[in-house]
Amino acid sequence: MKEKVLYIAKRAKTASRGLANLSTKIKNNALIEMARSLEEKTDILLNANEKDINYAREKGLSSAMIDRLTLTPSRIGAMAEGLREVALLPDPVGEIIRMWKRPNNLQIGKIRVPIGVIGIIYESRPNVTVDAAALCLKSGNAVILRGGSESINSNIAIAEILIEAGNSVGIPIGSIQLIDITDRSIVNEMLKMDSFIDLIIPRGGHGLIRNVVEHSTIPVIKHDKGLCHVYVDSEADLKMAERIAFNAKVQRPSVCNAMETLLVHRKVSDKFLPDMLKRFKDAGVEIRGCTKTKEILPDVKDAAEEDWDTEYLDLILSVRVVDNIDEAINHITRYGSMLSEAIITSNYNKARKFLQEVDAAAVYVNASTRFTDGNQFGLGAEMGISTQKLHCRGPMGLEELTSIKYIIFGDGQIREE
């Protein structure tokens, strides 16, 4: 197994050199051909995905996990459209970020260049295979894909289609590769190949992230858990707050930018919570509330301390009544995952305070946390949502998959000091 992964890594390193110098036209043609091929072979993808769904049900995976795993014609169409959107985006490779001249007349510039070889280790969602391949290709990086065992048939089918389509229009062989070995030990082998792989991006549960960070000798950018909050302030438009909170929790609860905890100011809790929680219950959401929440609605379940620290990824919601905005921010600081946080308020100063003091990749005023997504931000797709601060933060698009190179023009200067 180790030999196979080493072979893949070496091929990727070789391919990355050619890919870094590939024209924008060829890369865009490849993305468009990949999109066409995905749509043309929808039946193949659905058949492969059905095997994964059946296996997931046999293993007793949660409905949220199965939702993340499921492909439909519309989701396949969305993946194809994502490829076309990436093709329309500006190519970051070779972009001149800045040029300046020194007193000795040396002209110095900073340009964007590919990182090289990117390994992405992910769970469940087959669309990650497409997003990762598209963004790495357009940004001039070779990619090694290692999905989870629960989506192995879907990932193999998707990768084969993308690779064949890309190679047919001149993409270097080895630019996109999938590790089809489901044994978890292979991940740790991959994490030691720092001679060939330049960056690792893990996307999945806390256990996967922790294992990658602990064992990798390669730099890691984490796509960690999404424990997101919506805070309804005392000066919120309560109808707006109800729409936003419902969308943030119910529209797709299995994703990382869904709300897990609703914070409500004490002054509006009596007015807001009865109708809001009834709407949640009617949608099948299980409510776990603090003591103050239960004073308003005694039939909700007690929230334990661990609930505030839990990413449910399901129709379960923690609710807490707070006395002021500082208490809300303190709660978010203690329990949040630094991914997405929102305040609903009509008070400009409170909105500014929330934006300044909440430490997260995306902070919202009067909008749903569900927008934290590369496609929604106009990035075409994303490699993940970085919850750390180096070298990038938030949805990772094309620019975040580049490094920089200094270029220096002279006319005979030498250093004499």
81 with 200, same domain?
A: yes
Distance between CA atoms of 266 and 170, rounded to whole angstroms?
Answer: 62
Q: Are residues 173 and 27 in the same domain?
A: yes
Asked if 241 and 304 sit in the same domain, the reply is: yes
- pLDDT tens for 222-263 read 877 789 999 999 999 999 999 999 999 999 998 899 999 999
In this structure, the answer to whether residues 242 and 207 fall within a common structural domain is no
Indicate if 75 and 157 belong to the same structural domain.
yes
Structural domain includes residue 389: no
261 with 236, same domain: the answer is yes
Q: Give the pLDDT mean for 261-275.
A: 98
Question: In angstroms, rounded to a whole number, what is the distance separating the alpha carbons of residues 383 and 98?
Answer: 26
Does 388 reside within a domain? no
pTM for the whole structure: 0.88
- Whether residue 210 sits in one domain with residue 232: no
Which has more confidence, 148 or 289?
289
Confidence label for 125 from pLDDT (cuts 50, 70 and 90):
confident
Give the pLDDT score at 382. Answer: 84
Number of domains comprising the chain: 2
Q: Are residues 216 and 252 in the same domain?
A: no
Domain assignment of residue 417, yes or no = no
pLDDT at 396: 92
In a shared domain, residues 201 and 259: no
Contact (Cβ atoms closer than 8 angstroms) between residue 262 and residue 317: yes
User: pLDDT grade, residue 178 (50/70/90)?
Assistant: very high
- The per-residue pLDDT for range 341-380, each reduced to its tens digit, is 999 999 999 999 999 999 999 999 999 999 999 889 988 7
Answer yes or no: do 247 and 351 share one domain. Answer: yes
Q: Are residues 129 and 179 in the same domain?
A: yes
Per-residue pLDDT of 130-150, as tens digits, reads: 999 999 999 999 999 999 999
> Has residue 385 been placed in a domain?
no
Calculate the average pLDDT of the chain.
Answer: 95
Residue 204 CB partners (closer than 8 Å, separation 6+): 121, 122, 123, 124, 148, 223
- Is 316 found in the same domain as 400? no
Task: Provide the residue range defining the domain that includes 236.
Answer: 228-371
Looking at residue 359, what is its pLDDT? 97
pLDDT score of 206: 80
Residue 381 has pLDDT above 90, yes or no: no
- Domain assignment present for residue 386? The answer is no
CATH of the domain at 265: 3.40.309.10
Per residue, the 3-state secondary structure of 248-284, as one string, reads HHHCCCCCCCCEEEEEEEHHHHHHHHHHHHHHHHHCC
